[in-house]
Amino acid sequence: MNRSNRSKDPPDPVDAYREGVDRSLIEKNLELSVEERFLQLMELQRFAAELRRAGERARGT
Amino acid sequence: MIDFPGLLRALSDAGIRFIIVGGAAATAHGSTRLTQDLDVVYARDRDNLERLVRALTPHEPYLRGAPPDLPFRFDAETLERGLNFTLTSKLGDIDLLGEIIGGGGYDDLATHTIEIELFGVRCRCLGLRKLIEVKRAAGRPKDLEVLAELEAILEREES
C-alpha cells in the first residue's frame, strides 16, 4: 500500500484512547501473578457491588 | 461478583474443553479494566456439551436478564440448538460462547491460546495477539479503551 492509499484509511478509533492508557498502572499489574490479577479483579467487583448498593440505598430504591 | 475459583474448578473438574476469552482474558494479560463476567468459548462436541451441563447445573444457570418464569432448560439439547448463551449462576455471570466474531469456535482458537494456572486449575486462555484481533473484529465501542490498553501491553512485551 502506498502513502496516498494509507492517507485514505479511516482513522483508527483506538487512537483516541491511547493517551488515556495509564502505563504505570499496567506496569504495576504486570508485576502481579495472573492469579493475583484475578484476586484484585474480584476485590474490585466486590467494591463496585458495594458502591451500587450504597447508591441504591441513597436513592431509596 | 464472579467466583472465579469456583467456576474454573467446576469447568476443569468436569474435564470441559474451554478457552477463557473477553475481559477475563484481558485481566490475565495484565489489563486493569473491570469485567463483570467470565466469557468462555466451549467445544461443541456432544461429550463436551454434556460435561458442561453436568458441571453447571448444580449452580443453577439461567438466561441473564430473562423473566424468571421462562421455560429454560439447561441441557445438552438446548446447547446444541443454540450457540452463545449469556447466563447467570450462583457462581456469577458466565457467557458460554460457541463462536466469537473474528475468531470462530474452539478448534479455530485452540492454537492461539496460552496455558495459565489459576486457583490450582490449569486452563487455556486466548493469547494476547488473538485477543486484540477478535476485540478489533467485534468492533464494539466499549472495547476501544481496553484495546488501547492491550495494545500497550503487547507493545511492551515486544519491545
CA nearest to A49, candidates B63, B34, B5 = B34
Report ipTM for this prediction: 0.90
Distance of CA B139 to the CA centre of its chain: 18
CB contact under 8 A, A20 and B145: yes
Walk along chain B (159 residues) and give the pLDDT tens digit of each residue: 899 999 999 999 999 999 999 999 999 999 999 999 999 999 999 999 999 999 999 999 999 999 988 889 999 999 999 999 999 999 999 999 999 999 999 999 999 999 999 999 999 999 999 999 999 999 999 999 999 999 999 999 998
H or E element at residue B133: helix B128-138
Say whether residue A26 is in contact with chain B using an 8 A CB cutoff.
yes
Residue in this structure with the C-alpha cell 478489533, named with its chain if needed: B136
| Partners of residue B30 in chain A, C-beta under 8 Å | 26, 29-30, 37
Total-model pTM: 0.92
